[in-house]
Structures are given as C-alpha cells and as structure tokens.
Chain A
Amino acid sequence: MSDSPVKVTGSGRVKRGMAEMLKGGVIMDVVNVEQAKIAEDSGAVAVMALERVPADIRAQGGVSRMSDPDMIAAIQAAVSIPVMAKVRIGHFVEAQVLESLGVDYIDESEVLSPADYENHIDKTKFTIPFVCGATNLGEALRRINEGAAMIRSKGEAGTGDVSNATTHIRTLLREIRRLSSMREDEIYVAAKEMSAPYELVKEVADTGKLPVVLFTAGGIATPADAAMMMQLGADGVFVGSGIFKSGNPAQRAAACVKATTYYTDPKVIADVSRGLGEAMVGINVADIPAPHRLAERGW
C-alpha cells in the first residue's frame, strides 16, 4: 500500500496552497530571535524576518536590502512557524540566496530599495513561492503573471496610518467586482486598460476573485485595524512595525491575532483592545512627501 510515485515540488498548487494555509492569520515583522518567539507565542501564522522594520527604514533612510543570512537562519532555528524574508524589487540574486537558505516565502517588497526600476523578478523560475505588493488589480495581475503565489495590498508601510491599506484593499476588490459585472466583450478593453494579461483578467471576471490569496499590509497598528481589513475582504493581515514599535508587543500581537479570527465580533475586538498600552506613534501618510512613499515603488 505504499507507493513511490513522482513527487512534484514548486508547482503552482503547492506555492499557492501554502498561502491558503496562512488565511485568517497574522504575519508579523520581526528583527531578532526574541521577537520571533514572541510572535510565535502570540499565535502568528508566520514571521517576516528583516533587519529593520519599515518605521526604522523610514526614520533612518539610506538603501535597505535583504537581511543578513545569519539573522534569517537564527530565526528559522528559533521558531517552528513559516519564516518569510524580503528581497528588493527585481533583485533575483537576493531571491536565489533566500531560496538557498530555505525560507518559506519571499516577499519582493517595495519596503526595501528597488534594485530594478523596470523589471520585477521572474518568479516562475523559483521553487520557493513569492508574495508581492499591489495597489490595484492591474498591478496584482502583473505580479501573478510573473509567478507571484500570493498578493498583499501595499498600504503605506511603517506609518501606523491605515488609510492607504484601506484604499488599496478597497480598490482591488472594487475592481474585481467591476470585472464580474462586465459583458464578455468588454473584458478585452478592461485588460488593456489595466495593463494585465487577458487570460488572468478573464479568470478574475469569471470567478469573482483573485486566483491567489490576498492579504493586506501597510499601516495596520491595532486589533480594530486588522479586523477592518478582514471585514473589507482581506484573507489575512501583515502587521509590520505596529507590534514591536508599541508599548506591549506580546499583548498587542495576541490581540491582533484574536481580532483577525473574530473580525465580525465587536465584543471580542473591544475585549482584546483593552489596556493594550501605547500604539506605535505613527506618521500620517499625508505628511510624507510623495517621493518617500513606499507604495509608489513597483509598477
């Protein structure tokens, strides 16, 4: 009754399926082993290992790059949940390095300094799955066409201001609903207008959803923020600077996890929001000059 059949790795189903298992969960940015353990203890479904959280990248400026492999390996050794890590947009060699380290998911991220202002990584060439940011449906479908197995709406990372996250998830889902209501002969122009491959646009129009899991990121700082993203239709949330830049990270992390599961229950959200201490200070997106907005990186 045992078989030794062919085992296929790196297939679309295996890559996209990994993201399916993260649904309804919170993925947390961590910069060291201690934070990774707090995240795991709080019920995070995965951690994003990076050297500086977006709030610090924003404050300190300079070029930001893939993290030190030693730091990533230490976090992999410390936790049993999936470990993700970021590469610069277009930097396929950083991606090769992360694949060799065996990270579970690569985030080709606008939070780091882009390495290529024209091309994103050809993600179909990798066994490891990729998540990419998007601010609208066309951008999401271009990333999926390049092989992304998961999409996160971008928001504006490192701000604690949820307004851009709201705009981006609303835009994405509104554009999907709009496609679903179109006549078939209108889909061609829709594909042209959003600069996305017709086949993917048609698939979204037919199914009424993205072909991959859709998380939300960028500025989520409270349990209520997380629950709002879920009510708007996200499959899960990334919380970056919001947790470890706050007064009580362990409690805030657990609160965000609970609010993401019980996102339709205001009583639960109220309960977990009690006595959380200080949220991250935050910056209003409107106060950031356009050239410094991370969401505008990627095309």
Chain B
Amino acid sequence: MHQLRIGVLALQGDFREHIRSVDLAGYEAFALNRAAQVDEIDALIIPGGESTTIAKLARSFDLFAPIASAIESGLPVYGSCAGMIMLAGEIEGAASGQESFGGIDMKVRRNAFGRQVDSFESDIHFVGIAQPAIHGVFIRAPWVESVGESVEVLASISTESGEHPVAVRQGNLLATSFHPEITDDFRVHRYFIEEMVAKSGRPTR
C-alpha cells in the first residue's frame, strides 16, 4: 500500500497531539493549513480546540469551501470535540453565525455536559474496538442530540438527561465528543485509519 497522506487541520487547537497519535498508531500525519494541501490528502483529522475559532479561520483563509466539498465527495475525516462540531449538519447552541463543514447527518449540542467544572474522564465502550475500554476525556464536550438513519452510533454515555451518543460514524466520517489524542491510547486513530481510510475505496494517488 502506498503511504497514506493524512492531514491534521492546523488552525487552532491540539493538532500536534493528533499528529502524535497517528504516529503512535504507526502512520504519518502532517499539519494542514493551506487550501492547496486539501487536494493532496487521503484523509483529514479535525482537532479539538474552539470550534468558533476554527470555523472563522477556515473561512478567512479559504479552507472552508475546499474542505466542505472534499467531505461531500467522500474524503475520510475524523473530528474530535470541536472537530465533531465541525462535522455536524446542525449545531445546537451555536454562536451567532457559527458555521460547520457538515457531512454527518446529526445535530450536535455544544458544551452539552456543562462548563469546565463539569469536564470529566470516563471509560467508554466503543463498538468496533475490543476491550479494554477506551478512556474518554471530555472537555467542555459536545454530545450528539439526534442522528439520521444512516448514522451509526459507536459509543454513548448516560447522563441525568438520558443517553447521548459520543462517537458516531457515517460512511467515511467519524466523530467523537472526547479526546483520544490527549491519552497514549491510539486505537481510535488506528480504527479510523485501518477501518475507514484504508477501506474507503478512494483512488490511491
């Protein structure tokens, strides 16, 4: 197999940690912040950070349309936390005028678990990744409010207000509310690369 080219959107947030996770999983990733680079990648990761900031910078530096159209044409993308928000078809609790790339037929609620005092870590069962459990770190995290029929829920978490999806997949798109990239566990990244990117059936370059 050719060397996969995995870009990590490097506008703001913990993109270096994602590059490290990909590296731990045995692959290579690079920081992407130019529109021309979007044509050169086999997969994209959208990091944790501030979704309003990432969206504005993507718009200002002409990355928004190329990424949105690459997603539409089937580019495999993984987003964590802010990245999940960027992949949402609809955002609940958006800042005024806040945009997302879209791609996953879901409604995501920003800061759903509360403020930073409510941020937490917890083990979660992730469909498609064998035991031991994935350790999820949730930081001012979103959750998935509702999903369309073509969206598969890979992990959920129970709260006082019921059960909420925190990892979802639709086709080549993966989103998690939590941050595997700030742990040493690279299995979510490996899942994305080996189960999704490598099997995406997209032409190799």
The residues of A with any CB-CB pair to B shorter than 8 Å are 1-11, 13-14, 17-18, 20-25, 40-46, 79-82, 99, 102-105, 127-129, 254, 257-258, 261-262
When distances are taken between beta carbons in the complex, the residues of chain A under 8 Å from B127 are 1
* A105–B119 CA distance with the chains assembled, in angstroms: 12
Q: What's the minimum C-beta distance from A227 to chain B, rounded to whole angstroms?
A: 14
B50 at the interface (CB under 8 A from A): yes
Chain A nearest CB, measured from B49 CB (Å): 5
Contact in complex: B124, A127 (CB < 8 Å): no
> Least Cβ distance of B174 to chain A in Å?
16
Which 5 pairs, one residue from A and one from B, show the smallest C-beta to C-beta distance? A104-B116, A7-B120, A24-B12, A45-B50, A43-B56
Give B179's nearest chain A residue, CB to CB: A17
Query: Contacts A21-B49, A80-B94; is A13 near B137 (CB within 8 Å)?
Result: yes
Residues B94 and A9 in contact, CB atoms below 8 Å apart: no
Interface of A, helix, strand, loop or mixed by DSSP? loop
Asked whether any CB of chain A lies closer than 8 Å to the CB of B60, the reply is yes
Q: B200 at the A/B interface (Cβ < 8 Å)? A: no
Q: Which B residues are closer than 8 A to A by beta carbons?
A: 10-17, 33, 48-50, 52-53, 56-57, 60-61, 81-82, 93-98, 110-111, 114-125, 127, 133, 137-140, 153, 155-158, 163, 179, 182-183
**B15 surroundings in chain A (CB, below 8 A):** 24
A-B contact pairs, 30 of them (CB 8 A): A1-B125, A1-B153, A2-B156, A3-B125, A5-B122, A7-B120, A9-B117, A9-B118, A9-B120, A10-B117, A14-B119, A14-B137, A17-B119, A18-B119, A20-B17, A20-B48, A21-B179, A24-B13, A25-B13, A25-B49, A25-B53, A41-B97, A44-B53, A81-B50, A102-B115, A102-B116, A104-B140, A257-B56, A261-B11, A261-B57
Do A2 and B121 touch across chains, with their CB atoms under 8 A apart? Answer: no
In angstroms, how far is the closest chain B Cβ from the Cβ of A203?
A: 16
Cβ of A21: which chain B residues have Cβ within 8 Å of it?
13-14, 48-50, 81-82, 139-140, 179
A79 with B95, Cβ < 8 A, contacts A13-B137, A99-B117 known? yes
- Taking CB atoms, residues of chain A closer than 8 Å to B138 are 14
- Which of A4, A8, A13, A258 is close to B57, meaning CB atoms less than 8 Å apart? A258
Q: Which residues of A contact B81 (CB under 8 A)?
A: 21
A256 to B157, CA, bound (A): 38
> Is there an interface contact between A2 and B139, defined as CB atoms closer than 8 Å?
no
Bound together, the chains give a CA A230 to CA B64 distance in angstroms of: 24
User: In the complex, A10 Cα to B117 Cα: how many Å?
Assistant: 7
CB contacts (< 8 Å) of B120 on chain A: these are 7-9, 11, 14
Inter-subunit contact B122/A7 (CB<8 Å): yes
B14 partner residues in chain A, CB cutoff 8 A: 20-21, 23
Cα of A150 to Cα of B169 in the assembled complex, Å: 34
In the complex, residue of chain B having the shortest beta-carbon distance to the beta carbon of A11: B121
Query: How far is it, in angstroms, between the C-alpha of A105 and the C-alpha of B139 when the chains are bound?
Result: 12
Interface centre among A17, A46, A258 (most CB of B within 10 A): A17
A105 to B97, CA, bound (A): 26
- A23 to B139 alpha-carbon distance, docked (Å): 14
B residues in contact with A41, CB < 8 Å: 96-97
CB–CB B53/A18 < 8 A: no
